[in-house]
Amino acid sequence: GAVVSQHPSRVICKSGTSVKIECRSLDFQATTMFWYRQFPKQSLMLMATSNEGSKATYEQGVEKDKFLINHASLTLSTLTVTSAHPEDSSFYICSSRIRGYNEQFFGPGTRLTVL
Amino acid sequence: KQEVTQIPAALSVPEGENLVLNCSFTDSAIYNLQWFRQDPGKGLTSLLLIQSSQREQTSGRLNASLDKSSGRSTLYIAASQPGDSATYLCAVPFGNQGGKLIFGQGTELSVKP
Best mean pLDDT range from A8-12, A95-99, B1-5: A8-12
pLDDT the model gives residue A1: 64
A1 vs B61, which has greater pLDDT? Answer: B61
Asked if A91's CB is within 8 angstroms of B103's CB, the reply is no
Taking the CA of residue A97 and the nearest CA in chain B, the distance in Å comes to 7
- Nearest chain B residue (CA) to A111: B41
- CB proximity under 8 Å: A 41-100 to B: 42-46, 49, 91, 93, 95, 97
Q: Is the peptide bond before A8 cis (omega within 30 degrees of 0)?
A: yes
pLDDT, mean of residues B76-85:
97
Task: Check whether B64 has a pLDDT greater than 70.
Answer: yes
The closest CB to that of B99, out of A1, A34, A42, belongs to A34
Q: What is the pLDDT of residue A103?
A: 77
The share of chain B scoring above pLDDT 90, in percent, equals: 79
Q: What is the mean pLDDT of residues B86-95?
A: 91
CB contact under 8 A, A93 and B44: yes
Q: Which residue has the higher pLDDT, A105 or B13?
A: B13
Q: Which of B3, B1, B5, B35 is nearest to B105 (CA)?
A: B5
Q: pLDDT tens across A62-98, in order?
A: 999 999 998 878 889 999 999 999 999 999 999 988 7
CB pair distance less than 8 Å for A32 and B104 = no
Number of other CB atoms surrounding residue B74 within 10 Å:
17
Chain A partners of B95 at a C-beta cutoff of 8 Å?
A: none
Give the pLDDT score at B97. 52
In chain B, which residue's Cα lies nearest the Cα of A91? B41
Dihedral over alpha carbons A99, A103, A107, A108 (to 10 degrees): -170
| Cβ contact B107:A40 at 8 Å | no
With a cut of 90, say whether residue A38 has pLDDT above it: yes
Residue-level pLDDT at B94 = 82
Answer yes or no: is pLDDT of B37 > 90: yes
| pLDDT value of position A72 | 79
Q: Which residues of B touch A42 (CB under 8 A)?
A: 105
Q: What is the DSSP string of B5-70?
A: EEE-SEEEEETT--EEEEEEES----SEEEEEEE-TT--EEEEEEEETT-SEEEETTEEEEEETTT
**Cα dihedral B45→A98→A76→A60 (10° resolution):** -80
